[in-house]
């Protein structure tokens, strides 16, 4: 780990997680999310942070964690995300990323603990909070805790999460009934029925 300067080992290209890397991370950890459900980090005021050497190193570790996860190396990804957290424990992003890897590993309680920490550190705002609320909402939904799930999806939707907005609509019993009726009508049309 270098102390800075132009030979820091962290190129300027990696000072921010690119939109492409965010999209890749989203697809890896959230295969059921639509491709467009990435919150623009440049727009969210809470996401603007001073680019210290420690933060640059943590961001690079997170990028490497994404790459490890892409290769199916979840333990390596967990190690890299944990190192990023140790380096900058005040950043919500590392906890959110590690939670996603823990969820892939099957450690639901560990994932929930990290998501709670990410939400707390972000004070419930910004892209890390949006992703954490969405992830936690998905976990709660899978666990059958629909009230908690709906609350988290509403919080993520408020922060701009498109997938969360879709989930809020889908969890509305009237919307579900309308969707079912529309599907039945469309099936009848396809079958040539009146």
Domains of the chain: 12-190 (1.25.40.10)
pLDDT for residue 181: 73
Q: Which regions of the chain are under pLDDT 50? A: 1-17, 31-46
pLDDT for residue 177: 64
pLDDT for residue 88: 94
pLDDT for residue 11: 34
* Tokens 């997938």 sit on residue: 163
The reported pTM is: 0.66
Contacts by 99-107, CB closer than 8 A, 24 or more apart: 99/132, 99/135, 100/25, 100/29, 100/30, 100/135, 101/29, 101/65, 101/69, 101/74, 101/77, 102/78, 103/29, 103/135, 103/139, 104/29, 104/69, 104/74, 105/74, 105/75, 105/78
pLDDT for residue 169: 83
pLDDT for residue 133: 96
pLDDT for residue 37: 44
CA 43 and chain centroid, separation: 17
pLDDT for residue 43: 36
């Amino acid at each position: 780990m270098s102390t800075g300067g132009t030979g820091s080992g962290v190129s300027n290209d990696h000072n921010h997680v690119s939109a492409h890397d965010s999209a890749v991370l989203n697809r890896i950890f959230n295969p059921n999310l639509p491709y467009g459900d990435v919150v623009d980090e440049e727009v969210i005021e809470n996401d603007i942070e001073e680019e210290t050497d420690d933060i640059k190193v943590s961001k690079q570790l997170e990028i490497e964690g994404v790459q490890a996860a892409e290769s199916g190396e979840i333990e390596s990804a967990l190690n890299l995300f944990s190192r990023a957290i140790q380096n900058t424990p005040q950043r919500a992003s590392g906890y959110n990323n590690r939670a996603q890897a823990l969820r892939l590993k099957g450690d639901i309680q560990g994932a929930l603990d990290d998501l709670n920490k990410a939400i707390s550190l972000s004070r419930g705002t910004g892209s890390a909070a949006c992703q954490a609320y969405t992830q936690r909402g998905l976990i709660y939904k899978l666990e059958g805790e629909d009230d908690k799930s709906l609350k988290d999806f509403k919080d993520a939707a408020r922060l701009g999460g498109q997938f969360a907005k879709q989930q809020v609509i889908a969890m509305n019993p009237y919307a579900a009934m309308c969707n079912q009726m529309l599907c039945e009508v469309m099936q009848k049309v396809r079958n040539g029925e009146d």
